[in-house]
Amino acid sequence: MQEIYLDNAATTPMSPQVIDVMTREMKSDFGNASSTYELGRQARRAVDRARSQIAAAINAEDSEIVFTSGGSESNNTAIFGVAHSRQKIGKQIITTKIEHPSVLNPMRQLEREGYDVTYLDVDETGHISLTDLKNALTPETILVSIMAVNNEVGSINPLAEIGAIVADSNAYFHVDAVQGLGNIDLDVKEMQIDLLSTSAHKINGPKFLGFLYENKQITLPPLVLGGEQETKRRAGTENVPAIAGFGEAVSEIAAVDKAGLQAKYAHWQEMILQELNQAGVAYEINGGCGEHVSHHVLNLRINGVSTTILQANLDLAGFAVSGGSACTAGSLEPSHVLVACFGKDSPRVNESIRISFGRYNTDEEVAAFAQELSKIARKVQK
């Protein structure tokens, strides 16, 4: 049985070109990038080349890119770094109720340390109110942390508008762009973003690698202490093959027309919805699929069918989809994103699946999935 993978918001298959780059580096370049002899200098050149590729993709300077172990470390570095280095200015932080756990859990830790964290509400499409953000800002606000694209319902936040609002305050603007990089255009200068986190494995790169963009005007204390790698901002010997692969992955995705990619994903969403409509399946869309949404995510409630039953039946049929964020999939608690959008008593929180597309999926795969989803839904709903 062929497995059809539709959980790209959890992770993505590696690009063949990325694999080639990493394989070449592993075979020919084992030097430590901090060593001064030729093998070390060769490794350093590979790291610097990747850093330049990544900086160019978000309109940053090379020196503003810090390699980390992934989005979670980048988020933790930004949040704890700002909180602990700016607490003399104030101890108020603003975020949203639908952030990734690697943002929400550091926020809860900071609350235990005496910080005042404001969690902005979202509407049923997963969007915040800019008026709420303006009203929450005070002279003591030191950080606003808002994700670019939500990983469960695909809502896109208006980063440029948020950046302009935050720029008029004392706060720094941090963006978790793990789902944004590769799906929407990002320009840290135009959007007035001070800190931005990403992860390589969401854009067909290697796992356990990411970067943190730090505006050159900002100096944060390092989260990981040790050697003087990454200009003393992140200790640990650089994973040169993975970093080279990350640079290749970013270059590939930077060359892709984001509007065209979104149009392709929107077409796939429509294929699934048409199949459900023709089959008479009762369903609801969580988060919407119109404007201000990244169409790589389609979150559906199949009315009356539990997430567990639907996901298990799809898995047995050879289709990989998610019941929510892969980072919380092992939890018995319902999705915090759907709870924030619809309330904890809504049946949506226990009857929804997340379908997420990637650039290697095909029309044939999506059509096969739509037919199987309709077949299972009709059977169980009857």
- Clarify whether residues 240 and 263 are in a common domain: no
For residues 301 and 286, the answer to whether their CB atoms sit within 8 Å is yes
Q: Which of 197, 229, 208, 218 is CA-nearest to residue 54?
A: 197
- Clarify whether residues 73 and 62 are in a common domain: yes
Percent of the chain whose pLDDT exceeds 90: 94
Instruction: Output DSSP code: residue 200.
Output: G
Q: Which of 311, 381, 344 is CA-nearest to residue 10?
A: 311
Q: What would the mean pLDDT of 217-223 be, rounded to a whole number?
A: 95
Q: Is 141 helix (H, G, I), strand (E, B) or coil?
A: strand
Residues marked as catalytic? 327
CATH of the domain at 201: 3.40.640.10
- Clarify whether residues 182 and 302 are in a common domain: no
Contacting residues for 272 by C-beta, under 8 A, at least 6 apart: 298, 300, 355, 366, 369, 370, 373
For residues 324 and 7, the answer to whether their CB atoms sit within 8 Å is no
Q: Which domain holds residue 95?
A: 16-254
- Clarify whether residues 262 and 160 are in a common domain: no
How far, in Å, are 49, 174, 355 from residue 366 at the CA level? Answer: 37, 35, 10
The stretches of 96-158 forming alpha helices (DSSP H) are: 101-112, 130-136
Using the predicted structure, report yes or no on whether residue 42 has a pLDDT greater than 70: yes
pLDDT, tens digit, 9 for 90 and up, residues 317-373: 999 999 865 555 455 578 999 999 999 999 999 999 999 999 999 999 999 999 999
pLDDT, tens digit, 9 for 90 and up, residues 223-253: 999 999 999 999 999 999 999 999 999 999 9
Residue ending a domain, among 254, 286, 317, is 254
CATH of the domain at 337: 3.90.1150.10
Q: Is 83 helix (H, G, I), strand (E, B) or coil?
A: helix
pLDDT of residue 288: 87
The stretches of 282-362 forming alpha helices (DSSP H) are: 307-316, 336-342
Residue ending a domain, among 221, 254, 287, is 254
pLDDT, tens digit, 9 for 90 and up, residues 271-308: 999 999 999 999 999 998 888 999 999 999 999 999 99
Q: Is 160 helix (H, G, I), strand (E, B) or coil?
A: helix
- Clarify whether residues 262 and 212 are in a common domain: no
- Clarify whether residues 43 and 156 are in a common domain: yes
At what angle are helices 258-279 and 363-381 packed, to 10 degrees? Answer: 30
The total of structural domains in the chain comes to 2
- Clarify whether residues 54 and 130 are in a common domain: yes
Q: What would the mean pLDDT of 167-172 be, rounded to a whole number?
A: 97
Mean confidence (pLDDT) of the chain? 96
pLDDT of residue 382: 79
For residues 23 and 15, the answer to whether their CB atoms sit within 8 Å is no
- Clarify whether residues 203 and 292 are in a common domain: no
pLDDT of residue 22: 98
Using the predicted structure, report yes or no on whether residue 140 has a pLDDT greater than 80: yes
pLDDT of residue 332: 58
The verdict on pTM exceeding 0.85 is yes
pLDDT of residue 333: 77
- Clarify whether residues 265 and 293 are in a common domain: yes
Contacting residues for 39 by C-beta, under 8 A, at least 6 apart: 29, 30, 31, 32
Confidence of residue 29 (pLDDT cuts 50, 70, 90): confident
- Clarify whether residues 228 and 98 are in a common domain: yes
pLDDT of residue 260: 97
- Clarify whether residues 312 and 184 are in a common domain: no
Q: Is 92 helix (H, G, I), strand (E, B) or coil?
A: strand
Q: Which of 161, 158, 128, 163 is CA-nearest to residue 144?
A: 163
Residue ending a domain, among 223, 254, 285, is 254
- The distance in angstroms from the start CA to the end CA of the chain is 27
- Clarify whether residues 263 and 228 are in a common domain: no
pLDDT of residue 327: 55
For residues 271 and 369, the answer to whether their CB atoms sit within 8 Å is no
Q: Which of 125, 75, 129, 145 is CA-nearest to residue 297?
A: 125
At what angle are helices 240-254 and 16-28 packed, to 10 degrees? Answer: 150
Using the predicted structure, report yes or no on whether residue 316 has a pLDDT greater than 90: yes
Instruction: Output DSSP code: residue 13.
Output: P
pLDDT, tens digit, 9 for 90 and up, residues 73-128: 999 999 999 999 999 999 999 999 999 999 999 999 999 999 999 999 999 999 99
Using the predicted structure, report yes or no on whether residue 7 has a pLDDT greater than 90: yes
